[in-house]
Structure 1
């Protein structure tokens, strides 16, 4: 085969692959709404879509060209490289489009962490059917690329085919790159009408051109972003305590994806009955829309954005330090992994490995939960009764795919399985009721395991000296606002969880005041003899002392949301992207644009408080401690 023919075959093949990439990318672009916004957003959308389609394909083109240069006349090696690199490109763009469709995000640091961290992939809860489905999809993309190359080769060898020339493509792409990125930069200083388009283009890269536009007399209209970095100063002062003469035992039970409205008499009869004798907080907000920030916030009593410096410095939670100093016997259990999220390097960083039990033998989440409860009760049974104990368990039953045995079925019909490989937004809408029924059954199984613990405590007269905490890491949405699961938005369904705190001797309480995961530790610390004000180690409140909050914070990987009765305001944190502040009413209904400006201006003192709270536990550059913001 002559070099010109091979060149034309590869050009045509990559042109077809480019069209496929454009089709996959278009799935995330709201074409109709952008078209309604006018000519400028529409033109920007078309040019950016065409340009970025080339960017996504560029690595495959470069790798193939490199192999072609090295291998000289080895046509098979060149073709194999073209098929594999092109197949991987289309497969990645397909997965990215599917991720956006289901969860409203593209591949980002959170997804990379999920893939790279031990236990991350397992946390997804995929089934064998899903694994087979993904394998078939990958095989399908590779086969499609091989077929495309074979057809192109056939027509060039056997038939007459057009000769393609892309002589002016590099200079055209370069000019277009400058045009769209400088255009976006200019718009960000003026009208901000291109932001929605840019957010719909996967991995859109921005330039600010701040110096250039400043020389033209333009000033930015971008809303301020939170830049929060530094060395931890946690706690602000050494924790002082005097261990009570009769210290409480503590049992801390946390469930994956435990949605607030499931704590009721029908779904969770055991927990409902137990909560009647405890303090139950009906309007509790997690510190995150995912497990990482949710569990971190409940143990540190701080906004989830502190996760990153805690991870970097391998800092554990202060409450764990206190309990260790008081010689508490400890044993922690999870039906997931302590390595994902990296709790063994953050909140439990100072806990010996032999006290962290995550070697699950069960085939599914419900079996792991059942086995771990057995082990937890065995630990309590075999403890040294002259010393207090603290035990924690993380339950997995309500995590998608939602796990339960046949005896836990109370809601029908339900899906037998969830095949992630075949899920789509349309399929979710059509099947959301049986999917949610599956979730309800899994929560009912969770309640059965809670019931085993409650029964044990009653039978062994431990409720007279044991604090019991029931809490979820975050909620779970079932398409109420267009998404399924969690980690995508900050709507109530994704961030509201039950919170029950049982303290021996306290009168039962039902409170509909706003509470947060950040309030758990400030409520427990005084009960174990800590005398510091809670502001030394938290941004939370003592719920059993009548303290009340007017607002709270909810975090994800790179954003934080301020919440009060009136509004939810979401801001990027340490973000290099163009993401802007977003807002809604406190009940998640849309906030009209004519009200937004006035309300945000009204909330400026609250936004200042947010900045103070998110920087409170960082050392200042001069080494002095920041003043507490309260």
Structure 2
């Protein structure tokens, strides 16, 4: 008999059959809770994307719940002798599972993170916030879930004979299996073809790791890896969402001051190079104008640093902007005000971000085509800039962007003239001769010294043409450069988020502004609001078009600076730097970029950061 309970084999068979049906109804419950992920995620616009969503919703939760059954309840059916005790154990497991899933849906809704060490630490921190209070209220439903599981357990046990006779187990399992397999096969295709409506759903569900097969496809001639990497870099579509930029239409008090605007971006120049020994001209210029001594780039890499400078938005938005082909509101407004554009680069704007999201207007493309020398070189770029400046109508304002690349290419620039001195008089000697790190630093300083001479040429040209009194000059960098000062084998940029890679110069000449040295923390995200408010006289709040604040105004409530990219969130505070990856794992570093054992981010701070990273996305 099926329910005799006298035979061990019959008892185990009965419990296994009951366990299958118990798992099936919990799959349905998990799928219903899983609809919260769908509501909080971007809806795929294509039919294929919606088909993948349906397959993954059914297949993932079916596999997830049944996987827990196979790992926990199935072996327990052989080990727990009493059917009542076994069913109580299953009810406890299911209650814990659904409660965890409920908590995860709330974490995803509030922070766009699944449960992780960071989220658990925040929950257990004891910090009194609205989110923490709401999370605690969720546990009120635990007894309800437990009671419903008890009712389900008893009902299934009583109806087990009737359910077993229906012979629907195989068709149900087939549906779940086909959905699971179909979702992964569809994702393999989408990943290889960079099909965004599918790949954007990669992390929607908890414990979701869609299958990829690029290595297998490349091995069998089905994928060209180089072409794939090129297409991925060009598209920049990974994990992008629809963005509202600006959030609403801007309002202006008037047409602005009509001053000229010159931005000089020195690739890879870190802030501590602005000193009398290495860059005497820039140091003197800084001492006579506005010198922001505690300024941070938007990121530690080239493209995101430039993006943050022109958009005033965190790097997390870069893929959305690139996928939509947006234009910075700053450049759009300058164009509407009939500014002449002059765009010049020592390496002919090789970074893809310039064409994908910065200078992608017709006017900018014309400037890129006509104002560049054939041979990339900073001196030639400045010569072209001078020629362009001579042609400008004094009654019409202009905007110019000048990118200098010599510092970034310091290892190739050993013949820079003049040479930086002193050279290597006090360098320690090792078994192979001169210390290689100090040689690199000396070459780097030599390149900075060379660029300083070029800056002097720019200042002299503006002065000679009597443009300096009517021209705003902003001198900064996209990111810094490290020479393993943190002891983490980090060189150059884009390897960690220390001050050596994030902290950059910010020197501003603004006619009418008093000379000042500013030591409060500032960011690349602040440049756009400053220019929009103080040059173009926008009356709308900066929150409509930027995550930054006006550099001319002190903001005492500002306790953190935001940096990072589409992979990492970086929160810079007075005595710490917190790095959170896209999976919710976090690391906290001190001012010397050493890991802090007891460091934990505050929940209130993280909530503010996550809000800022979601604010410009389209509402659901």
Question: Is TM > 0.5 for Structure 1 vs Structure 2?
Answer: yes
Q: What is the number of residues matched between the two proteins? A: 388
What is the rounded CA distance, in whole Å, between the counterparts of 2:619 and 2:302 in structure 1?
30
TM-score (norm 1): 0.58
1:554 is paired with a residue whose SS is strand
State the match for 1:332 in structure 2.
343
Question: Is the contact made by 2:314 and 2:565 (CA closer than 8 Å) also made in structure 1?
Answer: no
RMSD, matched Cα: 2.9
Q: Give the alignment of 1:276-295 within 5 angstroms.
A: 276-295=287-306
Q: Please say if 1:446 is aligned against 2:341.
A: no
Question: Is the contact made by 2:345 and 2:381 (CA closer than 8 Å) also made in structure 1?
Answer: yes
1:223 is paired with a residue whose SS is helix
What is the rounded CA distance, in whole Å, between the counterparts of 1:245 and 1:532 in structure 2?
14
State the match for 1:558 in structure 2.
567
Question: Is the contact made by 2:293 and 2:505 (CA closer than 8 Å) also made in structure 1?
Answer: yes
State the match for 2:460 in structure 1.
455
Q: Give the alignment of 1:228-267 within 5 angstroms.
A: 229-244=240-255, 246-267=257-278
What is the rounded CA distance, in whole Å, between the counterparts of 2:351 and 2:405 in structure 1?
13
Q: Give the alignment of 1:480-629 within 5 angstroms.
A: 480-481=485-486, 482=488, 483-526=490-533, 527-547=535-555, 549-573=558-582, 580-592=585-597, 595-596=598-599, 599-600=600-601, 603-621=602-620
1:302 is paired with a residue whose SS is coil
Go from structure 1 to structure 2 and tell me whether the alpha carbon gap of 1:486 and 1:360 turns closer, same or farther (over 3 Å shift).
farther
Go from structure 1 to structure 2 and tell me whether the alpha carbon gap of 1:214 and 1:341 turns closer, same or farther (over 3 Å shift).
farther
Alpha-carbon offset, residue 511 of structure 1: 0.7
Question: Is the contact made by 1:301 and 1:522 (CA closer than 8 Å) also made in structure 2?
Answer: yes
1:583 is paired with a residue whose SS is strand
Structure 1 residue ranges without an equivalent (≥5)? 1-181, 187-212, 415-425, 622-630
2:265 is paired with a residue whose SS is strand
What is the rounded CA distance, in whole Å, between the counterparts of 2:300 and 2:460 in structure 1?
32
State the match for 1:399 in structure 2.
408
What is the rounded CA distance, in whole Å, between the counterparts of 1:610 and 1:270 in structure 2?
38
Q: Give the alignment of 1:6-25 within 5 angstroms.
A: none
Alpha-carbon offset, residue 570 of structure 1: 1.0
Deviations 1:528-580 (A, max 9, x none): 2211111111111111133453211111351121111132111123x5xxx72
What is the rounded CA distance, in whole Å, between the counterparts of 1:553 and 1:439 in structure 2?
28
Go from structure 1 to structure 2 and tell me whether the alpha carbon gap of 1:334 and 1:404 turns closer, same or farther (over 3 Å shift).
farther
Go from structure 1 to structure 2 and tell me whether the alpha carbon gap of 1:216 and 1:436 turns closer, same or farther (over 3 Å shift).
farther
Deviations 1:482-513 (A, max 9, x none): 31100010011010000011110211010110
Question: Is the contact made by 1:487 and 1:556 (CA closer than 8 Å) also made in structure 2?
Answer: no
TM-score (norm 2): 0.59
* Bigger Rg over Cα: 2
Q: 1:313 aligns with which of 321, 324, 331?
A: 324
Go from structure 1 to structure 2 and tell me whether the alpha carbon gap of 1:307 and 1:429 turns closer, same or farther (over 3 Å shift).
farther
Q: Give the alignment of 1:129-278 within 5 angstroms.
A: 217=96, 221-224=116-119, 229-244=240-255, 246-278=257-289
State the match for 1:98 in structure 2.
none
Question: Is the contact made by 1:280 and 1:499 (CA closer than 8 Å) also made in structure 2?
Answer: yes
Question: Is the contact made by 2:578 and 2:587 (CA closer than 8 Å) also made in structure 1?
Answer: yes
What is the rounded CA distance, in whole Å, between the counterparts of 2:296 and 2:315 in structure 1?
12
Deviations 1:126-157 (A, max 9, x none): xxxxxxxxxxxxxxxxxxxxxxxxxxxxxxxx
Question: Is the contact made by 1:411 and 1:437 (CA closer than 8 Å) also made in structure 2?
Answer: no
What is the rounded CA distance, in whole Å, between the counterparts of 1:235 and 1:428 in structure 2?
56
What is the rounded CA distance, in whole Å, between the counterparts of 1:285 and 1:322 in structure 2?
25
What is the rounded CA distance, in whole Å, between the counterparts of 1:610 and 1:263 in structure 2?
31
Q: 2:365 aligns with which of 353, 373, 377?
A: 353
Alpha-carbon offset, residue 448 of structure 1: 0.9
Question: Is the contact made by 1:468 and 1:501 (CA closer than 8 Å) also made in structure 2?
Answer: yes
Go from structure 1 to structure 2 and tell me whether the alpha carbon gap of 1:405 and 1:362 turns closer, same or farther (over 3 Å shift).
farther
2:506 is paired with a residue whose SS is strand
Question: Is the contact made by 1:558 and 1:572 (CA closer than 8 Å) also made in structure 2?
Answer: yes
Go from structure 1 to structure 2 and tell me whether the alpha carbon gap of 1:372 and 1:428 turns closer, same or farther (over 3 Å shift).
farther
Question: Is the contact made by 1:248 and 1:528 (CA closer than 8 Å) also made in structure 2?
Answer: no
